[in-house]
Amino acid sequence: MLRGDARGRVPDWGGGHSGRSGRRRRRPCCRGDAGLSICRGFQTEKDSLRSLTVSTMIHSLFLINSSGDIFLEKHWKSVVSRSVCDYFFEAQERATEAENVPPVIPTPHHYLLSVYRHKIFFVAVIQTEVPPLFVIEFLHRVVDTFQDYFGVCSEPVIKDNVVVVYEVLEEMLDNGFPLATESNILKELIKPPTILRTVVNTITGSTNVGDQLPTGQLSVVPWRRTGVKYTNNEAYFDVIEEIDAIIDKSGSTITAEIQGVIDACVKLTGMPDLTLSFMNPRLLDDVSFHPCVRFKRWESERILSFIPPDGNFRLLSYHVSAQNLVAIPVYVKHNISFRDSSSLGRFEITVGPKQTMGKTIEGVTVTSQMPRGVLNMSLTPSQGTHTFDPVTKMLSWDVGKINPQKLPSLKGTMSLQAGASKPDENPTINLQFKIQQLAISGLKVNRLDMYGEKYKPFKGIKYMTKAGKFQVRT
Amino acid sequence: MTDSKYFTTTKKGEIFELKAELNSDKKEKKKEAVKKVIASMTVGKDVSALFPDVVNCMQTDNLELKKLVYLYLMNYAKSQPDMAIMAVNTFVKDCEDPNPLIRALAVRTMGCIRVDKITEYLCEPLRKCLKDEDPYVRKTAAVCVAKLHDINAQLVEDQGFLDTLKDLISDSNPMVVANAVAALSEIAESHPSSNLLDLNPQSINKLLTALNECTEWGQIFILDCLANYTPKDDREAQSICERVTPRLSHANSAVVLSAVKVLMKFMEMLSKDLDYYGTLLKKLAPPLVTLLSAEPELQYVALRNINLIVQKRPEVLKHEMKVFFVKYNDPIYVKLEKLDIMIRLASQANIAQVLAELKEYATEVDVDFVRKAVRAIGRCAIKVEQSAERCVSTLLDLIQTKVNYVVQEAIVVIKDIFRKYPNKYESVIATLCENLDSLDEPEARAAMIWIVGEYAERIDNADELLESFLEGFHDESTQVQLQLLTAIVKLFLKKPTETQELVQQVLSLATQDSDNPDLRDRGYIYWRLLSTDPVAAKEVVLAEKPLISEETDLIEPTLLDELICYIGTLASVYHKPPSAFVEGGRGVVHKSLPPRTASSESTESPETAPAGAPPGEQLDAVPTQGDLLGDLLNLDLGPPVSGPPLAASAVQMGAVDLLGGGLDSLMGDEPEGIGAPSFVAPPAAAVPANLGAPMGSGLSDLFDLTSGVGTLSGSYVAPKAVWLPAMKAKGLEISGTFTRQAGTISMDLQLTNKALQVMTDFAIQFNRNSFGLAPAAPLQVHAPLSPTQTVEISLPLSTAGSVMKTEPLNSLQVAVKNNIDVFYFSTLYPLHILFVEDGKMDRQMFLATWKDIPNENEAQFQIRDCPLNAEAVSSRLQSSNIFTVARRNVEGQDMLYQSLKLTNGIWVLAELRIQPGNPSFTDLELSLKCRAPEVSQHVYQAYETILKN
């Protein structure tokens, strides 16, 4: 146990120990410790004693909106009182922003693991030592599934489809063990709602629950059902790359890396066996594959060989790190100055193309969190529209396309709080953009072949580069 | 038309209305009603009153309706056990349904109903389902066994389900295998001793095959199970690693991390020279980096684990510093973790970059993060010496910003830098002093006061500065008060003339006006020191402080090893072994890395802290002693202290003097301290009369008296005991015992390397002790001691070392050095190793001596339960050099008169009374006479040890 951990000797310093007595360590252990002692006090309650020995991966799930209402709860074992969420609310209150709520929160009897997506907290309650990544991955999968089923994942949509949601959750997890998490298979078990089906169901009394065992579930290719039929056979692959970068004041790159994915939409009849090869497979040294990809062939021949799932899926994701010299497609020239004496500051930024391989940069938006001392901004853009929210101090500029002949710029003044000293922190500029028909890493698909079926499919490859977390410090 | 309509019937009589609908004849209406019930349930409304009505809907062909009713049942069966029985028939029937989906659903649901009466009915259907032809049903049934075990473990064992489950590990379907493994792991968790998951090369092979084919979740179960296996040799370890490595490319981060766990654990077994080892190291980095581009929650868990991995194997990520650079919109919990890892990876090669980043972070908005960034700069300075100067100037820049919390953090870390590099950066003190007024946090105030006290001679107005703090003495926190007290005493010792008044004032504040015992005690000690011997006070208070060590905040190596086995679990997130936070002692098994055979909790070495010995010479070795002197030196150090300064001296071996000069000089202050190092005390003088303190009876505890076979030829040898557990010595475990054979005393040592690095350069040294025991030769460890290796060494001892009476008499303080550090431990030696071979006195002499020794020196003891006759006793004792001088038979009792001589020439005479004829009376009576009566107790213990083994 942790006894004695919190009881530090005083004075508690003398050297190089910054972390020792620091917050990081105290937070989890004190909570845990206090928690354990509390629970000892409460062990008279028979049920809680009992529950100590229950071991389950995920015990319960609570869905909580950003105003702190629990709008859905699902228990895979005995019911855990929703009061357990009080610990979560406490943490939520402490965190300044929803994003900052810690993903693992200890309580006397349970651990709360949460993910925050679409402005909803998905809070899983667990009771024993389980791999937290397991739980968090699963929660993300739940969110993906909802999105897949209902198009969007939001509180009203979940409430509208509460019975389907419940059925899906039950199908995804049994006794805390994941059961069916492939959307292909789930959709065969529980059909997603469509307006037509709802109407038909109402009239005929039929159901949206499949009464056949999903065919793919136990085959060697659990991700694909049998008997798939299409009149038009098509396979599309999107190579999408996101650049994460930090650019310093002077414009040089501090870090840059590319997160790439190949998303596929495959609608092919029967059991097609595909191979996909690249012009420059050596770029891909850090890859994560969909389970359908045969790893051995990748190891030996550097080609992707797989029987695809039916429909949309992510074939692989990859990571090109800084060492491989990531090209930076845009630059930002900035001149932001706060003067000590005056209550006005100057603000000027210009965005221009850098290494774009001749492609156009589109969908550019610039956002920046201005310091608290900035009261308002009076700016003129050379193109696009801009807004400044004086409450959140968020500046955003929707630039649109960059025309290399006439670089977009945003100029003007900032009015600062009178008398206050010059802000300590400089705003960081966040950039969003898109470049069509370009994979910035240079990755190129060589060819796609199909075996196992006789027809000729229609094949398509699309490339796109986007900004991920692209930040320019000023 | 959406499900939200089910929420709208919130008017009065809702339950009543639902009841009517549930009992409707129309199927569609029934289904709608059940949906409404479920909808209410999901938002936490209590609809348990409808239980019988809902259960009535169970008998239906409509699968959706059936599922909904099942959902309801799972939720409420517990509160309505009697009603739930009504459902049993339907369940049993459904388990026979031709549709495997329904069979599986029924057995799955039944397992979720935690009602004892129902579980009885579950057994038969479950048995069938476990052998079902359809794998979907089998895999569902496997999980159901775990559920049932949770409700009624005995039942599961009685019904033989565990064996069936074990059989499923060999199932043809990988999903069934995965679920069986998952279920068995879960059951095994509540039965740590059971041998449920009996892993052998065959079953491992099956698991590895299933690993390639089952779902991602199944892979996690299998990998976690594999991690518990210990391969028999490095070849097996390598072949498992080879088959697990492809999992590093899985899209599911939990699979990746579980694979990392298996690899990190099995890598332990691979030789570092192996090519494969290097390949594996290279393969570990990319997946870990990739985890950092996942969602923030996943990043957090990954970072906590990377923190462990980096401590264990820094080489894995040493080139990946940049991926840990913080993005300004990372969630705070990710930022803080990244910062931690940045410092761990900081090295001379990348320090410039790291510092530039840290400086950038120190101007961010988030206070917690900024503080940690400032501290990080200090830690860099301490870690990378070359960067210290740059760090200090960065910190000064930050102080110039005048942002309050930045200034305070900076001062706290600058104090640490002073501790690491004394007398190097005092030029910055002036700048620090300028900010004195803005400090409002105790830690920063205390740090500042420490700096002022430490460098009092160079700060002209140190007295004024300290005086200004003194005004609000009682409002300060204890931390500041203690520091202020020490600082002023230091100031006084450095500038006695001007500060007498100040020191008086603080001493009286601390002792008379304070309720805090720590403060009061420290005040009194200073006061007494200053009033009795100012010179000594100076030596104590202004003593040179050990440097703080470079790497701070490291996890202790044995804990780290344990945590490596828990990569990917909650333990790895909290950096604590599960035993520290898993409730209710569910038999948590301590895991350890493969080569380590013993559990991490070996027996504590008997740490008898000699009361008379000067405290504090072993600050980190004997923490119980450290406090007092540590406080006086104001070394209230958490972090490890590098060993005491080494100085050459006394002992006749070429090795370094481990116990150090500081110790000797401190001992010099002791009034009883014995002067010349080469002084070998004459028999009588060795035991001055004033040392009649009661002897501890610790000796008998030290040896396991009931077990262990002593060799009867030669002196009795106690079994080896652990003297220095690995936990306390960075992985070096020392156990040993003492022997005496053919006139030579030796210390038989067993050194085990439980750390992960090779140990070399061993040396050993003893503190001065009562009988002048000292190593007669250097500690010879011929080859470097590689991890997991054990060597046995017999170290010959002489009794020509310097003598100092210890308490207890037979305690021995030992220092062992290796390439890692210096470690200290203390042990007790049995006195009989000191009994010399020529200890037989002749009869006349015996009688004369017996008479000569005054009667008050006679001590009586009883040796209980020793059913030996006089011959046996005599021969046994003789082999340990206790000689029988004469034997008499008085009134049926055997009287043995015995003599023995200690190495320092002390004679001990004994009279031993044995009653051979009386089997019910097996106690021996022992009278000892000796000119130095304090040895009697130990001689008695030696008797007892010899006779009872």
CB contact under 8 A, A2 and B581: yes
- For residues B735 and B750, is the Cβ–Cβ distance under 8 A? yes
Q: Taking the domains of chain B in order of start, what are their residue ranges?
A: 346-438, 441-532, 721-829, 834-948
Instruction: Decide if pLDDT at A45 tops 60.
Output: no
pLDDT value for B233:
84
**B390: which DSSP letter?**
H
| Disruptive mutation site among A1, A18, A26 for chain B (greatest number of B CBs within 10 Å) | A18
pLDDT tens string B654-695 = 333 334 333 333 333 433 433 333 333 333 333 333 333 334
- pTM of the predicted structure, to 2 decimals: 0.65
Q: How far apart are alpha carbons B60 and B94 in whole angstroms?
A: 11
> What confidence category does residue A432 fall into, taking pLDDT thresholds of 50, 70 and 90?
very high
Instruction: Decide if pLDDT at A323 tops 70.
Output: no
Instruction: Decide if pLDDT at A198 tops 70.
Output: no
CB contact under 8 A, B416 and A132: no
In the three-class reduction of DSSP (H, G, I as helix; E, B as strand; rest coil), residue B932 is classed as coil
Asked if the ipTM is above 0.90, the reply is: no
Residues of B within 8 A of A194 (CB-CB) are: none
CB contact under 8 A, B217 and A18: no
**Helix, strand, coil percent values for chain B (each to nearest 5):** 55, 10, 35
A364: distance to nearest CA of chain B, Å?
A: 19
Q: Which two tokens stand for residue B810?
A: 């037979």
User: For residues B122 and A13, which has the higher predicted lDDT (pLDDT)?
Assistant: B122
Q: How far apart are alpha carbons A116 and B18 in whole angstroms?
A: 35
Q: Is the peptide bond before A11 cis (omega within 30 degrees of 0)?
A: yes
Q: How far apart are alpha carbons A242 and A260 in whole angstroms?
A: 6
Q: Burial, A64: exposed, middle or buried (Cβ in 10 Å; 0-12, 13-18, 19+)?
A: buried
Residues of A within 8 A of B4 (CB-CB) are: 156, 159-160, 162
In A321-425, at which residue ranges do the beta strands (DSSP E only) sit? 330-338, 344-353, 361-369, 374-381, 385-389, 394-400, 409-416
Does residue B581 sit at the A interface (CB-CB below 8 Å)? yes
Q: How many CB atoms lie within 10 A of CB B169?
A: 21
User: Which of A15, A21, A255 has the CB atom closest to B416's CB atom?
Assistant: A15
Helices H, strands E: what count in chain B?
A: 37, 13
User: For residues B87 and A102, which has the higher predicted lDDT (pLDDT)?
Assistant: A102
| A246: nearest CA partner in chain B | B327
User: Which of A39, A132, A299 has the CB atom closest to B573's CB atom?
Assistant: A132
> What confidence category does residue A388 fall into, taking pLDDT thresholds of 50, 70 and 90?
very high
Ordered mean pLDDT values, 10 residues apiece, chain B (949 residues)? 54 72 79 82 77 79 80 78 78 84 85 78 86 87 86 84 86 84 81 68 85 84 87 87 89 91 89 86 89 89 92 87 87 91 89 89 85 90 87 88 86 87 82 83 89 85 84 85 89 84 86 85 88 83 76 76 85 80 50 50 38 36 37 43 38 38 38 37 37 37 37 64 81 86 84 80 84 84 79 85 81 84 84 85 83 83 79 83 84 83 85 73 81 84 82
Q: How far apart are alpha carbons B110 and B275 in whole angstroms?
A: 53
- For residues A256 and A330, is the Cβ–Cβ distance under 8 A? no
Q: Is the peptide bond before B808 cis (omega within 30 degrees of 0)?
A: yes
| A201: nearest CA partner in chain B | B28
pLDDT value for B667:
39
Does residue B141 sit at the A interface (CB-CB below 8 Å)? no
Residue whose entry in the numeric block shows the structure tokens 């003088």: B685
Does residue B150 sit at the A interface (CB-CB below 8 Å)? yes
Does residue B189 sit at the A interface (CB-CB below 8 Å)? yes
- Closest of B813, B831, B771, B775 to residue B614, by C-alpha: B813
User: For residues A231 and B42, which has the higher predicted lDDT (pLDDT)?
Assistant: A231
What is the CATH architecture of B834-948? Answer: 2-Layer Sandwich (3.30)
Q: Say which CATH topology domain B721-829 has.
A: Immunoglobulin-like (2.60.40)
Residues of A within 8 A of B6 (CB-CB) are: 162-163
pLDDT value for A209:
60
pLDDT tens string B843-875 = 888 888 888 888 888 888 888 777 777 888 888
Residues of B within 8 A of A54 (CB-CB) are: 150
Query: HSE-up of B771 (CA within 13 Å, CB side)?
Result: 28
User: Which of A10, A29, A218 has the CB atom closest to B136's CB atom?
Assistant: A218
Does residue B578 sit at the A interface (CB-CB below 8 Å)? yes
